[in-house]
Amino acid sequence: MQHKTLLKFAIQAGEIMLKSGAETYRVEDTIERILSVHHLDVIEAFVTPTGIFATIDDESMEMTTLVKRIRHRSIRLDKVALVNDLSRRFTEGKISLENAMAELNAIDQRLPYPYYIMVGSTGLVSAFFTAVFGGNVRDCIVSLAIGIFLAIMQYFFRKAKTSRFLIDLIGGCLIGSIALLFTRLIPFTNLDQIIIGSIMPLVPGVAITNAIRDTIEGDLLSGVSRAVEAFFVAISIATGVGIVLKIGFALTGGIL
């Protein structure tokens, strides 16, 4: 019975990590480390970006397997760090199973940064990246506005549980059209720098980094699937921006 509780705890810890954007090998490692506490004969964990499978077996019990499907993923690196820390303390015997489970639930309930901070940060990310890529002050202000619009748009679409690729496509369109509009209205603004800065919040940094790190650790399946995710996100953004620019150029005639 105790073993089953341990397995549930391990799977829940893995689920939270995987949902929050941890690398696949780290999730596997964490589950196996938690399960190793009870010195069972058989411990197997198999993790892909969309699901977790774990099996334990021992002479004293029936073989038990638990499967967990992961659907909605978001980026919560704070949770990854906390669960990682918790699993370490648990395996070192510094915390009991009951307390660890309570703490894990508390981590799961942790709120992200408030909505207005997210909106502001998206705007500032866009603005500062425009500056990084050599935009002037006017470009940065336009990017700030685009970033804020983008974050508000993302918030409403995420609430409706829309596919990530559609959000990125629409985000690309939004960035392209606002950038095109403002560069026409305000003199001395650069379309390139504004768009490059503004697409940064959409760029799939987590997917790319995790794809590489999973591949190194031998999780080839996860590496490939994350790379495909990153590739399609990039294509979605490029299509969104591209369509708008093409229409814009067609209407106004020629390159800006």
Partner 1 sequence: MILQTISAFFATFFFAVLFNISKKQLLFCGGIGAFGWFIYLLFVKLTGSVVLANFISALGISLISRIFSIIRKVPVTVFLISGIITLVPGAGMYRTMYAMLSQNFEETAFYGAQTLQVAGVIAITIIFTSSLPIGTKKR
Q: What residues line the site for partner 1 (CB under 8 A)?
A: 21-23, 26, 29, 75-82, 84-85, 112-113, 117-118, 121-122, 124-125, 128-129, 131-134, 192, 195-196, 199-201, 203, 205-206, 208-210, 212-213, 215-216, 234, 237-238, 241-242, 245-246, 249, 255
Q: 26 vs 164, which CB is nearer to partner 1?
A: 26
d(CA 191, CA 171): 16
Distance of closest approach, residue 243 Cβ to partner 1, in angstroms: 10
Q: 10 vs 29, which CB is nearer to partner 1?
A: 29
Distance of closest approach, residue 58 Cβ to partner 1, in angstroms: 27
CA angle 201-204-210, nearest 5°? 135
Q: Spell out a b/e string for 163-183, using b for 16 or more CB atoms within 10 Å of the CB, else e.
A: ebeebbbbbbbbbbbbbbebb
Distance of closest approach, residue 250 Cβ to partner 1, in angstroms: 11
Give which of 239, 2, 18 is closest to 98, Cα–Cα: 2
Q: Which residue has the tokens 């397995």?
A: 7
Distance of closest approach, residue 241 Cβ to partner 1, in angstroms: 7
Q: Report the Cα 138 to chain-centroid distance in Å.
A: 31
Long-range contacts of 84-92 (CB under 8 A, 24+ apart): 84/17, 84/22, 84/26, 84/30, 86/13, 87/13, 87/30, 87/33, 87/34, 88/33, 90/34, 90/37, 91/33, 91/34, 91/36, 91/37
Distance of closest approach, residue 33 Cβ to partner 1, in angstroms: 10
Q: 63 vs 181, which CB is nearer to partner 1?
A: 181
Q: 8 vs 81, which CB is nearer to partner 1?
A: 81
Question: Which backbone phi and psi does 19 adopt, to 5 degrees?
Answer: -65, -25
Q: 55 vs 209, which CB is nearer to partner 1?
A: 209
Range list of β-strands (E), 168-236: none
Q: 81 vs 221, which CB is nearer to partner 1?
A: 81
Distance of closest approach, residue 149 Cβ to partner 1, in angstroms: 16
> Which two tokens mark 227?
């790379």
Q: 75 vs 97, which CB is nearer to partner 1?
A: 75
3-state secondary structure of 217: coil
Range list of β-strands (E), the chain: 42-48, 51-57, 64-69
**Is 70 exposed, middle or buried (CB count within 10 Å of its CB: 0-12, 13-18, 19+)?**
middle
Distance of closest approach, residue 46 Cβ to partner 1, in angstroms: 19
